[in-house]
Chain A
Amino acid sequence: MLKKIPICVALLIGFALMAKAGSMLEQYQSVVQKLIDAALADPNSTARLEYLCDRIGNRLSGSASLERAVEWSAREMRNAGLENVQTPPVMVPHWVRGAESAMMIAPIRKELVIIGLGMSVGTPPGGISGEVIPVKDVNELAAIGREKIAGKIVLFTPQAKSPTVEAGPSIAGSLGALAVLIHTPHTRGISYDEDKLKIPAAAVSAEDALMMKRLVAAGTPVRVHLIMDDHQGPDVESHNVIGELRGSEKPQEIVVVGGHMDTWDIGQGAQDDGSGTMAALEAVLLIKKLGLHPRRTIRVLFFVNEENGGAGERAYGAMIGDALKNHVATIVDDRGAEKPTGFGFGARDQDKQTPRAFETATEIGKLLDTIGAGKMTAGGGGGHIASVTNHGVLGFGINTVNVYYEQTNHTNADSFDKIASQDFQLHVAALAVLSYVLADMPKRLSELK
């Protein structure tokens, strides 16, 4: 008998451990399956996204269409029965793209395909003309020096993702350049150094950039005439959009799920980030339609001005104030609507910072294994709602297969036709499962270290 007690104890401990290890899966497997099945069976899952794209269109901060999108979103949330729907005000920058054109005037006349980079200053009314000097990136710019840069139009020829895009115009301006053209079909925001000269900056198509580079390499001087009527108006009032599914036990504790409502002013902002906002909304409505009542509140958040300022997420942080401590997690869908593969979680070393939380997140991810959307990786979770995630709240950012997204991101071709409804439904499923489990599991994720 004495000998048997330790065995019983050991067995009990063993069962307890097994139960703990399998608890998440066991607890949530059946409800997760219901959520996934419902998401994948919804024939109208993309209807709201289609409306947003086709009937409202792109929605740059400061534009009338963004405000239409804000009003429509709040109405959709209310009509669908979300609670505490509100549109707290946010002051956003109001950058306006005027008429833009660029013409190569030597050695031959050829109209160039350009698009001003967001937040760029304009040219004087008659435009500017200058010789083009192709430069690989900002490092090469410094090496070439003021003497050769001053009075020129600098053509940066890196591929899309490069710090050159953000920092290039200020550095070129400080060396006396007239303007900057960047080899990338994508528009995106630039950030000027306030103490440096602001010069106009535009993206130019790969074809035209390569042509100018070839001509100069062949010894033929290239001159370009650039006209950009872009300008910055005074800040204007916009609004984040919030709606909730109130928690059944701890309503003050909050899981945020969402994306950004604003877009660049071209295309339809279908994948950046119409699909993220709409998938988040559909996910919460799905939980609601299934009659599920998680312990904590799930809050849908559409923040504005992600593309050119970040005012929306900052305003959200200011609005919640001390309620920050009740934020359990944030989930953001802003990587396009291709097939989801999982989530980035927290910081790059999140698995070391909070190993238990990471382990739990991984366990939740396993619930999405059947749809291949459950891989949890450290990093990429914060940033979008930095006012929250920079202060200890754990963030999740969706990841996708990312095959075609870069082709259309920030271009005129980011439109609804690129959305595969099956992939979109998988986003809805993944967001629904992650937000539901985070909101319902007995322990707060942030308590696990």
Chain B
Amino acid sequence: MKTLIVALLVLAPAESQTISEQYTETAQKLIAAALGDTEGLARLQYLCDRIGNRLSGSASLERAIVWSAAQMRQAGLSNVQTPPVRVPHWVREKESAIMIEPLEKPLNMIGLGMSVGTPAVGITGEVLPVENPGLLAALGREKVAGKIVLFTAANDATTYRTPGYRQAVTVGPSRAGALGAIAVLVRSGYALQNPRTTGLDASTDNMVVKPYADGVPKIPAAAVSVEDALMMQRLVESGTPVRVHLTMQAHQGPDADSHNVMGEIVGRERPQEVVVLGGHLDSWDVGQGANDDGSGIMAALQAVLVIKKLGLQPRRTIRVCFWVNEENGFAGGRAYRTMIGDAIRDQIAAIEMDNGAEKPVGFGFGAADQDKRTPQAFARAVEIGKLLEGIGGGEITTRGGGGDIRYLVHDGVPGFAVKTVETLYSNWHHTSDDTFDKIVPREFQLNVASLAVLSYVLADMPKRLNDLK
């Protein structure tokens, strides 16, 4: 009887084992290795301090690409390549704003990505504070025409994603321009006089981002610091007209050649099946792009290297990918989708880390109702998450995806997004404060650990996640 049970256990197909039974020991090894690893941090430091920020079209982005590919090769990844991507080439150049009435005061501003510039002499206009673009129509052309619209929606409490702010940087400039406004200023997030940039995004047609809506005048758009926005709002509310002189040399050059960067651990059984993980190599042209998204790509690379260094070779291929142009166009993610073509059916999962390197709490998975759409797959993901409970990084929730993997997710690939405690990230996001000193080594290592465990298990478990419904 006893021998029969043993025999049955040995003969039992792997699938009858739980994730926990199969992978707890390996996960422990991966976590321990990730938490003892400092290579990833050293690379991130190099990327931040020696290469710096890396806007699409810039020389520093191309330096980052060459360096990243060299790093992957030196670390022994297979099939390292840098497939070409055409990216927009928006250039900020010089920009400034000064309040000229009721008194002269330079404003702390930063042009919003993809904005048009002003004429060379700048533009001058009276400031019209409006909470959000939804209120423009009620004011009408008569009150808006010729004005500089100041969108005042607060977004500094905990996140940069409040609806008022999102509307201001997406449809705001187009709607104001349609009513004859001459420029738009948007109140930034976190205070302390550090304005935050972000990309204009009036509409996304066929998954192509348009900074301005078709058929409306394109007007310059810039963020101003919380302090300066509040000051102008106070002045106007107390009956004192405010006039601002704005000069922006921003312009759009012809598209430039750039490249995604990819490297692999080739799968031992089903190399054509791929789990892809990564983030974006480009950043805004301020700060160092440390949290957004230097930390994401360096953690993804290190996760793969931790797997490799332990001598593990999963059944399927794990591909680390650094996409370009996430910040102002998503050209890298689109080019990747085009490149893989029909191989999309063999993309087992896509994992993106692009929310900063604070302490990870788990992963978002799939659509908002993924737990109902594919309950079995969701349950499996939850099981994988349990492997990360020891480091508190394994909570699986709905809503995965990310800017770079949106085209994969759109075509049915299960998407995962790293979720963190996200306490301070929005303070630095898209500002000159997004620098390496904000990276807490231990928290970065925890991100490496959770990416290593999730990608390894997804690549190695006998059943493909997308076969589970």
- Residues of chain A whose beta carbon lies under 8 Å from any beta carbon of chain B: 50, 53-57, 65, 107-108, 110, 113, 206-207, 210-211, 214-215, 218, 220, 267-268, 407-408, 411-413, 415-417
Contact = CB atoms under 8 A, between A and B. Distances in A.
B49 A408 contact: no
Nearest to B48: A211
A55 B103 CA distance: 7
Contacts, number: 73
A417 B51 contact: no
Nearest to A214: B49
Q: Which 5 A-B pairs have the closest CB atoms?
A: A207-B435, A412-B193, A210-B437, A415-B227, A413-B193
B234 interface: yes
Interface residues of B, number: 29
Contact of B234 (A50, A113, A214): A50
Contacts of B193: 267, 411-413
Given A408-B192, A415-B227, A54 B234 contact: yes
A417 B436 contact: no
B50 interface: yes
B240 interface: yes
Contact of B436 (A50, A211, A408): A211
Contacts of A412: 108, 193, 227
24 contacts: A56-B103, A108-B60, A110-B52, A207-B287, A210-B435, A211-B48, A211-B288, A211-B436, A214-B45, A214-B49, A214-B436, A218-B45, A267-B193, A268-B231, A411-B192, A412-B108, A412-B193, A413-B191, A413-B193, A413-B227, A415-B230, A415-B231, A417-B230, A417-B231
A168 B447 CA distance: 41
Q: Mostly helix, strand, loop or mixed at chain A's interface?
A: helix
Nearest to B42: A218
Nearest to B231: A54
B226 interface: yes
A211 to B, nearest CB: 6
B235 interface: yes
A102 to B, nearest CB: 14
Contact of B49 (A50, A55, A215, A267): A215
Q: For A207, A210, A413, A416, which residue has the most chain B Cβ atoms within 10 angstroms?
A: A207
B432 interface: yes
Contact of B433 (A65, A207, A215, A415): A207
B102 interface: yes
Contacts of B51: 108
A417 B437 contact: no
B240 to A, nearest CB: 7
Nearest to A107: B50
A108 B437 contact: no
Contacts of B48: 211
A215 B51 CA distance: 12
Contacts of B238: 50, 54
Nearest to B287: A207
A3 B52 CA distance: 94
B192 A413 contact: yes
